[in-house]
Chain A
Amino acid sequence: MAKEIKYTRRHLLERIGGTTAVATLMPFIPYTEAEAAQGPRLRYWSMFTMVAPKGSLQNPNLPTGDDAVFRSHFTPLNDPAVKGKISLYRGLKNKAGSDSNVSGGHGGQAAGILTGTPAIKGRVGAGSRLKEGAGVNEADSIDQFIAKAWADKGINLPLRDLRYGFNDGDVDETKTAFFNRGRMVFHEGDAKKFYDQVLQKAKNVDGTGVQPVDLTYREDILGTVLNDVNRVKRKLSAIDSRRLDNHLDAVSELQRDFRSDSMGGGGSGIACELDSSYGNANGKANTFDAFGKIVAVAFNCDITRVVSGMFCGYQFYKDVNVFDIGSLSRKIGGVYHGITHDKGGNQADRHALVNNISKWRATLFANIIKELDKFEEPTGGTVLDKTVVHWTTEHMRDHYNDDSFNMIGGGAGHFKMGKHVKCGGALQNAMLVSIANAVGFDINKFGQYDSGPLAKQYLA
């Protein structure tokens, strides 16, 4: 596919100094010496959706052979610009989901699929974000693990990670997949705010942002608060003290953020062009597309390397005005979860709705793949080639948790591409281990179970 030339670093250099500059500077611009020492710039993008449709509706549309060939409402994934750049992994068992004991057939699966750790009711410790006092101990979801691990390796990006999405309805608090130290983390549902967040960092990266003056008082205030938090920590039990570490870390991080603003940011010279229309997206459907475009730019600019997005909620689809999703939802008058259980309206409308939702999800995923593939990497290939794009759902079909849905895009050279991979009973944890391996972390266990990575025959 033709690349959109305006986004490339080469184009930036051409604008600055013409072809001479390109020839002279290109070898030095992409990766600094320090970056080169850290290896290739790899990224992880998690897209999480709730409640897969009934097996009888979904299965006929998924691949049956060895190649990733889709039918019916999943055909957006057959787009030539996408084909060969994604794989569907099936047959992985979400043991953490089946070992969880919260919220019927859903909450535990959702919490477990990206943490590999069961959610257990009554744990009021670090996991208290999860509704009803359930928690996943100190477990991180894979996106949070990767973001922290890179920070620990000294890769200090303007944004450690980005989270986007909607979560309409209290009931779905049980089902959010992103966990930081076992606590559910929030996400940004506002395209404008998300856009501003990235744009601000992009300006800092380029060194072109107008910096506020005399804002050091903010750091001073936070310095006072930091001391105060530390004093309180000393009075607490060890367990409560650890809980307050979240607060401490957050204040420290905000203080660093303010300091960075005051100093005028970095200045790596990477092109970051954000179309202002992204920030003005109206409606959920457009907003999700805008999220995708903004994230692609953020990856290209190296503003962040980890992104997680989710959308769910009982009322979520009522105002998604694409593929008749909103109008069908309103017509049926029920909530999505009930509709997947065949509740409300008539069967034809219910089935049309869940199929159209599948189509929208597939379209969003395909669009992500295409967006990332627009950006050339200076070392060859595209940003997509250096990214593991991971779409997962808390149930593959019906209430089954022994056949998790894992769609992998890009693959970072680690996963098979263009394939329908049947993993035959391995644990979801193995997928999480392999994702960590793919982006450069040599681990053998993720979550509660000793799964190891996926077997070699399932990988590139």
Chain B
Amino acid sequence: MNYWFKLGRLSNAALTVFIIFLVSACTGDTNTSSTSSSSSSSSSSSGQGNNVLVGNESEAIMKSGRQSWQGACEDCHGADGQGGVGYPKPLNLSRFALREDMVTYIYQQMPPGEGDQPKLGCDLQCANDTADFIIAGLPVDPDSLPLTCNGNIEEHANPPIRLLTSSQFRELVERVYSKVNVEVSPQIANAKVFQDVKVAGFKNNAGVTLDGNNIKDMFGLAMDIGQQVANKFSSLMSCDAGQESCVRQYINEYGGQLFRREPSLEHTDELVLLHKKNSGPEGIAHVTAAMILSPNLLYTFEEDVLVRTPLKPRELAARMAFLLWNTTPDAALLAAADSGVLNTVSGIEAKAEEMLRDDRAFDGLRSFYDSYVALDPDFEYKGSNANWQHCGDEFGQCNFQGEKRVRYGINDKWNERTLSNGTPCSNQVFGDPSPGTNKVCEIFIGINDGVSHALTAAQASDELTRFVSDLTLRSEGSFEDLMMSPKAFVDETTAKIYAVENGQLSGAPEYQGGKQVLLDSSKRAGIITRIAFVLHGGGDRVGLSSPTLRGEHLLKTMFCQSPPPAPGDVEFPDVPDDPNLTWVDVIKQFHLVDDDNNPDTPNPCIECHLTFDPLGFAFENYAFNGEYVSQYLGGQMVDASGEVHPIKNDPKDIDGSSFNDAIELSEIIAKSDDAATCFSNQWLTYAVARDIAENSGDQCAAEELAREFKSSGYTLKELLIALVKSPSFRFRNPEVDAQ
């Protein structure tokens, strides 16, 4: 749940009561009287035990007081007075008998200077206004209140212009030119041109455009494609490339597919003119390059509107194709759009159903879920490599006693020999496995990093996509199934990682290249126990996983919650070398314990880390390649238990729960309405290419989608259908330019 969803629900009076309740709870004052809050526009009173604080609540004073608070107090006391980094405790108003006492205290003491420095500036007026603002309960600025929904779903923002992703670009160009087998160089497209930027957690290049950093590489790529087309033009078109009519036909036919819209006459004329300058095959190469470089091809965009307007049929077709297939619309879909089938909600629903039956829906789901679980596309584990220890650099000496296996090289290029009592580290001894690089020598020392199976990101992605695809497209799966189902579709590698017995594999039905099996339900449940999810924060060996990263990832993925940034004034402690301590022990000691119990020197880590580190403990059973481990390398048993602690001002319905491992945590999440709502919010964010949590105008659409998802029994497929029918998906609003 996001802050802006919740904040508006707290009235000023409620906030006052809340603060006073916490103060009394902290001070142990059991005699706190019931709080009264005046409805007077000019004054209010707050009770603290027998104290009555009366302040002035005029609009001007609240404004001035709020400014002072935000400028000088908020850093230490927090926006709501419940404590911040500098003073992580609620305000203690019970110390003041009268308003004037508070004013005097602020005037004389606040805000304090650093160390021995005098207090910073807050004059008498400032002290008065600040005191009144505190007494009034730190009321939220009415101008900053989030928009209320009231059934108004029309205030949403628009997706920004989007550069195609590298896979979308390659798929489009290679599909359109499939007749002549054009190949888009992945080295250039992936590494040089398209950086595939994530926005709000999803790889969608929203707001991204080409610029001076990649235009030259893009030009080279376009020329390469142009040349490939020109070389085989006769296989593409049956007309003479030297004739203008042929060129026009080529532009209309292929430009129309590449641009997902008919090329304008003006654009066509310019391309024909370009061809005339170098007619024949060379001219075709140039025309093709110019089409590849066209913004009509490279970007997805919707045209500006003056009033709220349904997307044009082709624009809507493009949105649906990107959402459900992760690609551009094909000729058939564009033709359907042109014929008007997308002009009604029922038509859209029928077309979406049809698209979900298409094989490309598998790719569409992959695109969402790879980003959803934050799968690193470059992840590759080549099997255990921690069994080697550096013993010397090239040209140096590798010293050891007795007989050892020694390897020489760098990265994945090694020559190995068994040698005795040391060796020079050189090409002369080992040969040169990697010419032109600085190499090293390593000896085999037999340490086990706790995992054995090699794995690539693609394998993890395949396994996850088969799982979610089966649930979504084949078996009417629900959110609960997503969390709990032990069904899996494994290849040779993932079968080993999941320790699937051979008996299950033989004769198992296949789906999308994986064999259908049931995983050991004591070790695996749904998505958060799958390889693609637990890779995140997995560390480099067993026992080095990061509960912090994993817990933060879980909060963000499952509950759309982001803990606040780390404070800017924390000194790192020296961590002791104790072989009996696991990294979890260290985390507990340094993040979660206030070892001196001195309230004046609180551990600044606790408040935030308590909300995610314990969640991360749940994943301790999973090594960085997804293998299940029950004990650390030192022999200690894994303890994957933890609790769910609330984030201040952002409660969720599983707060207070506890679990023994990730299976139990999965069960808790499976039953959580907040988690299901977050899931539908994530899909909406993905579909509209903007962070809906940051756009208050999307609140209604998000709530409506969550309602529909719930009413469908949290059925995964129904969520997608509801999404494409959502007005925020189908309409464009006029944009107000702030500049």
Contacts and interface: CB of A to CB of B under 8 A. Distances in A.
B737 A239 contact: yes
A55 interface: yes
Contacts of B739: 238, 242
A334 B544 contact: yes
Interface stretch (B8-16, B241-249, B433-441, B518-526): B433-441
A330 interface: yes
B267 interface: yes
Contacts of A327: 390, 393, 440
Contacts of A257: 216
A224 interface: yes
A338 interface: yes
9 contacts: A124-B199, A125-B207, A218-B219, A232-B296, A250-B210, A250-B213, A333-B449, A347-B574, A401-B569
Contacts of A244: 161, 209, 295, 299
Given A129-B197, A222-B219, 7 more contacts: A56-B574, A132-B200, A237-B158, A237-B737, A238-B737, A249-B211, A319-B411
A220 interface: yes
B278 A217 contact: yes
Nearest to B278: A217
A129 B541 CA distance: 32
A55 B198 contact: no
Interface string A103-140: 11110110000000000011111101101110000000
Interface string A378-408: 0000000000000000000111111000000
A397 B299 CA distance: 43
Given A101-B565, A133-B198, A347-B574, A338 B546 contact: yes
A107 to B, nearest CB: 8
Interface of A: 54-56, 94, 97-98, 100-106, 108-109, 121-126, 128-129, 131-133, 170, 180, 183, 185-186, 217-218, 220-222, 224-225, 227-229, 231-232, 235-240, 242-244, 246-247, 249-251, 253-254, 257, 282-283, 285-286, 319, 321, 326-327, 330-331, 333-335, 338, 340-344, 346-347, 397-402
Nearest to A131: B198
A341 B546 CA distance: 12
Nearest to A333: B540
Contact of B160 (A54, A243, A333): A243
Interface in B68-126: none
B294 A105 contact: no
A97 B215 CA distance: 31
A331 B388 CA distance: 9
Given A55-B571, A124-B199, A133-B199, A104 B565 contact: yes
B286 A228 contact: no
Given A124-B160, A133-B200, A342-B573, A282 B436 contact: yes
Given A128-B208, A236-B303, A344-B544, A170 B568 contact: no
A244 B438 CA distance: 43
B568 A250 contact: no
Contacts of A242: 739
Contacts of A106: 566
B290 interface: yes
A399 B572 CA distance: 8
B549 to A, nearest CB: 10
Contacts of A285: 438
Given A185-B213, A398-B571, A101 B564 contact: yes
A431 B209 CA distance: 31
B694 A239 contact: no
B271 A224 contact: yes
A249 to B, nearest CB: 7
A98 B215 CA distance: 34
B215 A124 contact: no
A132 B202 CA distance: 8
Contacts of B158: 237
A448 to B, nearest CB: 15
Given A132-B199, A225-B290, A347-B577, A340 B572 contact: yes
Contact of A217 (B286, B544, B689): B286
Contacts of B546: 338, 343
B215 to A, nearest CB: 4
Contact of A236 (B211, B264, B301, B575): B301
Nearest to A331: B390
Nearest to A183: B211
A155 B690 CA distance: 39
A235 B303 CA distance: 5
Contacts of A227: 266-267, 270
Contacts of B195: 129, 186
Contacts of B278: 217
B567 interface: yes
Contacts of B458: none
A228 B208 contact: no
B540 A344 contact: yes
A347 B576 CA distance: 7
Contacts of A218: 219
A126 B207 contact: yes
Contacts of A108: 565
B567 A105 contact: yes
A105 B211 CA distance: 29
